Structure 1
Amino acid sequence: MTGAVNIPLLQRLRNAQGAFVPVAELGAGKTLDALRTDLAELERFGFVLESHPYRGVAYRGPAARLCPDQIEHELGTRRVGRRIAVWNRVVSTNDLAAHAAASTANEGLVILAEEQTAGRGRRGRQWVAPASSSLLMSVLLFPSEHLAEAGWLTALGAVAVAEVVAAWTGLDARIKWPNDVRIAGQKIAGILVERGDGAVIGIGLNANITRADFPTELHDTATSLRILTGETVDRSELARALIRRIDDWYDRGWSLGPDALNPAWRDRSEHLGQLVQVTTPSGSHMGRLIDLDLRRGLTLAESDQNGRTRQFSVRDVLTLTPCQDGPGPNSQIVTP
């Protein structure tokens, strides 16, 4: 067991950006023994520090495991992150969040886990990641009727993740319909929204996975922040950034309405402007995707000279795929 981590001390060391900080500057208001205890606690938790008898102490790297104190410290959110629970090993973070939906007082609860034994993806797929390598997060919300409309919460999760990934890497993060975030066509995150008494946004984000950690069949189609940046990711800071982005968009949804998310969702789309095939309960349709709107749906350009368009509601779209081959046998061609 470890005690509480001294986060202000950790921040002071981190802010020095690798330089040594003299012990006299670290121990203001504390006895030397108390400072040594706090430093030892940081190291016991897993933070990498270097001590020098004359120069002081330097920060050398994050803890391999998630640090609840670090995530919660001065988080500053309004709704999301009111409570944060970090588990070592769970069946599914979404399942735990769903159990907490018995009380609306749990809105904004964030559940994180080092490892999932049965993480779920869309259409029953599994999300598998080595322990302590990814950000496995579920957020419990009780949205208004408008914010609970088809696709809005999935779009919220995808936009928030894409913005964090873009900020972390400096690369263009795109949303592959409807719930994957990709960099240059390689998947880095997935979102799974499940509804019950409340709504749960489940997120799996590849953080410190190496190329060797991926199954061979995913080497060309998946990536991680570590692969993209060449550096070990501080997953606690990553969790803080993502919780803040989710909270910001969710709060905007409550105050400005669901349409506030549209521009960011549209601009992040990997498919906008492409020839795509849309599958709905009525069949498959092909056309150039010229607009995305969470209320109006997807707009495909038709092939006639009148410039007519065809719209499909978000809830009716079963799949959306780029068209690289010819149309399927039941497709209706509506290319411009």
Structure 2
Amino acid sequence: MLTIASTASLRVYVSEWENGRRPISERYAKILRVLLGVTNDELQGTHSAPAPMTEADGYDELVRRIDASRSVSLTMVKTFMEQTELLRTFDRQMGAASLVDQMTGHLSKLEDALTFAVLPETRRPVALALAGAATLAAWQALDVGAVERAWRHYELGKRAAKEADEPMYLAHATAEQAYVLCDAGRPAIAVELVRDAQRAGGRLVSPRLQAWLYAAEAEICARAGLPDDCRRALDNAVRHLPDGEEARDPDMLSIFLNHGHLSRWRGNALALLGEEEAVDSLYSALDSVDPTFIRATAGLRCDLAQAHLARGEYDQAHDHLRQARLLANRTGSVRQRRRIEQLTQRL
């Protein structure tokens, strides 16, 4: 059991931490990182410097790291990707805030492996693993409100995808990065970026990822106030999405999309446009939502609240916001809490 100071003492500590009069001890830093979903650098307001070389000229340490990187086998890359998958599962069920330390360490190991890898046959698989991990870390950072960290992780993911020569990973990272622009109040630029993502993928992306890219375009067009573009993108998403209940893309494990998910996305976009027909799509999605997708379910409840608000159905909107708030509190999603508060102000 962790012993902490009394409430009165904690109030003094918080004031002194905020004003820089007291350093944050590791005991409290560990608690605050999980509670706030921030990295240690963000919490302390510092940026870690690279570890110094131990030898006077640095060559011995450099050669040691390069030699170590040569042992990065396909088995180790597979382990890296399995770790990313495990973090993705925890994120889906528990939220991003509790994973900040694990995600930071995972990215650091991958970046180190890539930095000191020399030959392309070693670099490319590591770069691919880094592209997937960085994009997941970026979405987690966006969820906890760390927008600069999210942006930098997306840039890292894009660079890694280019080095790995993987257009699907590049398209996915670029399209998700457009959401940072949307949240920052620049939806028009976000529309351009998500369309650039489609061009980056070209004909080399899988049908399910292509449908996902069109669905993302539809949502962002709705947020930019472009109803015709939104509906056209939704039609394209339906046309490209493979039939069947399977949701996961075997060529792009971060993509989950079937007709049930797309129904939710359609309802979300139409709710943003204030269209009454959004409600039917959203309730259909609610019936089929995977209960382990806690954050997605919270988002769906927000969508339903928005759709009911557009129809002047305030009691139903209030009920969905209440349930969305409970789910968002479970995952620690700052992004969703912000949206819940914005919708609550309209009641």
Whether the TM-score (by the shorter chain) exceeds 0.5 is: no
Q: TM-score range by the shorter chain?
A: under 0.3
Q: By percentage of residues, which structure has more helix? A: 2
**What is the TM-score with the length of structure 2 in the denominator?**
0.26
**What is the TM-score with the length of structure 1 in the denominator?**
0.26
